[in-house]
Structure 1
Amino acid sequence: MRSRLLVIVCVLVGLLAVGLGVPLALANSRAAQQELFIDRLTDTIYFASRAQRPITEDTAPGLAEELARYDEVYGVAVTVVDRAGTTVAASRPDPPVLDEDGRERLQVALAGRRSAAPPLIWPWDTRPLVLAEPVLVDGEVRGAAISVSPTGALRAAEVQVWSLVAALVVLAVALGVLVALPVTRWILRPVRRLDEGTGRVTRAVLAGRPAEPVSDGSGPPELRRLTLSFDRMAESVTQALSTQRAFVADASHQLRNPLTALRLRLSNLEGHVGGGDAVEQHGAAMEEAERLSGVLDGLLALARAERDAGVDREADVPVDPAVDDRLDAWRPLADHTGLRLLRGGVRGLWVRIAPGGIETVLDALLDNAIKFTPPGGSITVTVRPVRGAEPAAVELAVIDTGPGMAPDELDRATDRFWRAPDQSNVDGSGLGLAIAARTVELAGGTLTLDLPPGGGLKVAARLLRAP
């Protein structure tokens, strides 16, 4: 935006300088040409009056010498012709050949009219200044005096003037830029702080931390009010999200006590419920209570992840101990369901994440993979650096050989409480991938779902690599 403002300033200053300099240069050129025209016209009229006797008496005593001396001093060729166009006297042995404009001026002079001022001579116009004045004897036109003046000096002076004007225009634009630079910085400082602070404010708001103020009291009043409004908005959003998270955490925690009591009462009713339908309903109630307990556990885990994000707890964490620990923890369940739990990739990598974050992500991904991978399948956890990533990143992926997902369901899989239509009969709350995605996001990474070429599902967490 600063570049656009500077361009606008340069254009305006340039137009102003051109608007003032061009008329000044034109006026100077016209004045110089008018001075030359009057000077040459006066001399031509003099020679026309001087040629009256030579034309009348058909002799030119002294006229040719006078014309030659004049030509030698001023470099102006002068020729006197009679009414038939025959040369009577000339300053040079070979008078210059007249162009169309010169012949027209000669005809005007022989018609008894004086020469008019020529149009403006531009620096690139190399034609000479041709003037013709009638030679009058007793009011009768008897011939004409013609002067052919070179315009090199006039055009050189014009070039100097136009060069000076061009230099002044460039100088004016340069001064305009020098003056505009601090002004544009002052004008755009609030905008730049808004641009730089938006990312920080967004991360702070999502993490529940107080947002760093964008306004610093500088800039135009309108932009200062804008930054103050932005700070108030960020503060309001932060408070709203904090209130929402506190409500979810408190509600989930408070619901656990009555839910535990309900499960206990339902358990106590086991064996005391008579009738096939009643037993079936009792079993369904127990399943729903277990499902509700899982949902509350997921909500509490998600609330804890977002609450911990409000505190800057990120650290350089080694990947291998967390991966090995979670593989050991989940291997008995995998063996029980007939699955192979494998480890791939490289070792010795570190990432930037809150302590316990890798464990939270792997628990959610491994739980999801074990649920949907049929017996005899395999689940592979890989760790590898991401080539060409800027900044440097590490990919932690869980790849299973299950049924996978439809391509249009991959983007929705990390939504809270979302379940695939064909997996509604599988136990779960729909919060596992949401918790993993939120944990990775709070660490500055991304969680993506892909369909490997051999089938199954690949869930990859890309985390910032620790130096």
Structure 2
Amino acid sequence: MRRRLIIVFLLPLVLVVTVLGGAFAWSAARSVQQEFYAEQLGDLAYFTTSARQSLLSGSSDAFDGEADRYRSLYGTRIVVVDRTGRPWAPDDAERVIESEEVAAQIALALSGRRGELPQDVLPWQFSDLSLVEPVFDGGDVIGAVVMSASVEVPRAEIVRQWLLTAAVVLAVIGAGLFIVFRLAGWVLRPLRRLDGAMEAIERGDMDARIADETGPAELHHMILMFNRMADEIERVVSRQQEFALNASHELRNPLNALLLRVEVLATDIGEVGAADVEKIREEGARMTRILDTLLGFARRGGQHAAVADVDLTTLVRRRAAAWQEVAARRDVRFVTDGDATVRTLTDAAIVESALDAVLDNAVKFSPDGGRIDVSAVRTAEGCRISVRDRGPGLEPGELDQATDRFWRSSRDQNTPGSGLGLAIASDLLRSVGGRVSVEGAEGGGLRVCFDLPDEERR
């Protein structure tokens, strides 16, 4: 955004300053040239009067003296030609009039007509100037004066003014660049602070706010609305954390009481129901871990999970075995495969809870006597847990909505459930850096995949 803002402000400034500088440079060049032409024409008029007197007297001594002094001062040669076109002294007069252009101008002057003044040109096209003025006596042309002037001095003046103009243009552009950078910084500073505050809130820092007086007045309202929104978010999150804390605390007491009764019951039934009691103990311990995770989320704002080294293959087999008894009521069986060991750094309770939500759906929508494949494998991107059922599946257009809260396919409206299973699994996986994907399976059914980063990628 800073680059675009600088371009928007700076490009018109550069164009305007460059155009104005170019116009001024051309005007300065024309002014120097016209001033030079005017000076030469004035001097030529003076020497035309002196030449008329010399031609009438037949002696060039006085004229030659003035011409020599003028040449020594300005480096400009002045030659007089008579009505036949023959040059008078100085001795190098032939060199002055040897060009065809000058000869044509002399012929035009001896016919009684003046040549046209030179046109304004660019400095590198500005060549030595030759002017020819006819000398009249009573309406008759008795000769002409030829002036050959060097343009080094006016050309150097034009270059000097052009360099000065370029320096001024660059200075203005530099000043404009400095001002635009400061202006862009002033305008974007509150936006950067706004971006930083939003990132801080995303990380869980609910106290992040922006000073209302920051930046231009046009952004004050937006900053004020952001602060109000942050206050409301902080209140909502605080209420959610309080609810989670209260719920996890209140659920812990009946869960402990239930587990205590199971232990008492285990002493009465002996070896007969020992296996079932052990399963109840495992589920009770898992529920305790879930409550601990919920309590930790509530205390930390859900920003950091209890990361540990977890074998996903063992976790998958354990959860499939836990759901086997529920699935067996409809003759649905679990088949676990995949890699022998898939280890990663994650929160086991979160992954178990997310997997339970998916397994619940798989059992619910599997046909009687069906099969559910559960696997854990290592991929190029990390680790993947896959659950594939043989149920009715979803239409291609419905797959993207499967993880939305309370969404259910129109074909499953009569099936018990709230449409929260995949949404909860997606939220849980996202909290540990994973994601949930839903896709149709070949041969029918649905495949739900958990993608988790491995320990090297975290």
Report the TM-score when normalising by structure 2. 0.71
Instruction: Please give the per-residue CA displacement for 1:249-285, whole angstroms capped at 9, x wherever unaligned.
Output: 999xx9xxxxxxxxxxxxxxxxxxxxxxxxxxxxxxx
Aligned to 1:315: 306
Alignment-mate amino acid for residue 357 of structure 2: A
CA pair 132-406 structure 1, distance change in 2 beyond 3 A: same
Aligned to 1:276: none
| Among 391, 398, 410, the residue aligned to 1:409 | 398
Structure 2: distance between partners of 1:346 and 1:165: 79
Q: Which runs of 5+ in 1 are unaligned?
A: 255-299, 388-392
Structure 1: distance between partners of 2:202 and 2:302: 15
Give how far 1:197 is off.
Answer: 3.4
CA pair 405-11 structure 1, distance change in 2 beyond 3 A: closer
Structure 2: distance between partners of 1:36 and 1:105: 21
Q: Secondary structure at the match of 1:134?
A: strand
Structure 1: distance between partners of 2:318 and 2:106: 108
Aligned to 1:91: 93
Aligned to 1:357: 350
Give how far 1:58 is off.
Answer: 7.6
1:330 pairs with 2:323:
yes
Instruction: Please give the per-residue CA displacement for 1:324-369, whole angstroms capped at 9, x wherever unaligned.
Output: 432332244456634232132474543455x621111110112222
Asked if the contact 2:405/2:420 (under 8 Å) is kept, the reply is: yes
1:223 pairs with 2:216:
no
Alignment-mate amino acid for residue 441 of structure 1: R
Aligned to 1:169: 169
C-alpha RMSD over aligned residues: 4.5
Q: Number of residue pairs matched?
A: 408
Q: Secondary structure at the match of 1:416?
A: coil
Task: Spell out the pairing of 1:425-440 with structure 2 (5 A cutoff).
Answer: 425-440=414-429
Give how far 1:193 is off.
Answer: 2.0
CA pair 423-157 structure 1, distance change in 2 beyond 3 A: same
Report the TM-score when normalising by structure 1. 0.69
Structure 2: distance between partners of 1:370 and 1:186: 59
Structure 2: distance between partners of 1:318 and 1:176: 58
CA pair 99-356 structure 1, distance change in 2 beyond 3 A: farther
Q: Secondary structure at the match of 1:315?
A: coil
Asked if the contact 1:318/1:348 (under 8 Å) is kept, the reply is: no
Asked if the contact 2:332/2:363 (under 8 Å) is kept, the reply is: no
CA pair 224-456 structure 1, distance change in 2 beyond 3 A: same
CA pair 44-109 structure 1, distance change in 2 beyond 3 A: farther
Instruction: Please give the per-residue CA displacement for 1:148-171, whole angstroms capped at 9, x wherever unaligned.
Output: 333244223322321232133223
| Among 197, 212, 218, the residue aligned to 2:208 | 212
Give how far 1:196 is off.
Answer: 3.6
Task: Spell out the pairing of 1:234-273 with structure 2 (5 A cutoff).
Answer: 234-239=230-235
| Among 374, 382, 387, the residue aligned to 1:380 | 374
Aligned to 1:198: 198
Structure 2: distance between partners of 1:307 and 1:106: 107
Asked if the contact 2:105/2:132 (under 8 Å) is kept, the reply is: no
Give how far 1:227 is off.
Answer: 1.4
Structure 2: distance between partners of 1:153 and 1:80: 25
Q: Secondary structure at the match of 1:459?
A: strand
CA pair 13-423 structure 1, distance change in 2 beyond 3 A: closer
Identity %: 32
Asked if the contact 1:105/1:131 (under 8 Å) is kept, the reply is: no
Structure 1: distance between partners of 2:50 and 2:340: 110
Aligned to 2:279: none
Give how far 1:57 is off.
Answer: 7.2
Structure 2: distance between partners of 1:138 and 1:233: 100
Instruction: Please give the per-residue CA displacement for 1:171-210, whole angstroms capped at 9, x wherever unaligned.
Output: 3322433344344323311111223433554575xxxx73
CA pair 132-223 structure 1, distance change in 2 beyond 3 A: same
CA pair 195-464 structure 1, distance change in 2 beyond 3 A: farther
Alignment-mate amino acid for residue 127 of structure 1: S
Aligned to 1:186: 186
| Among 325, 333, 344, the residue aligned to 1:339 | 333
Structure 2: distance between partners of 1:98 and 1:453: 96
Alignment-mate amino acid for residue 236 of structure 1: E
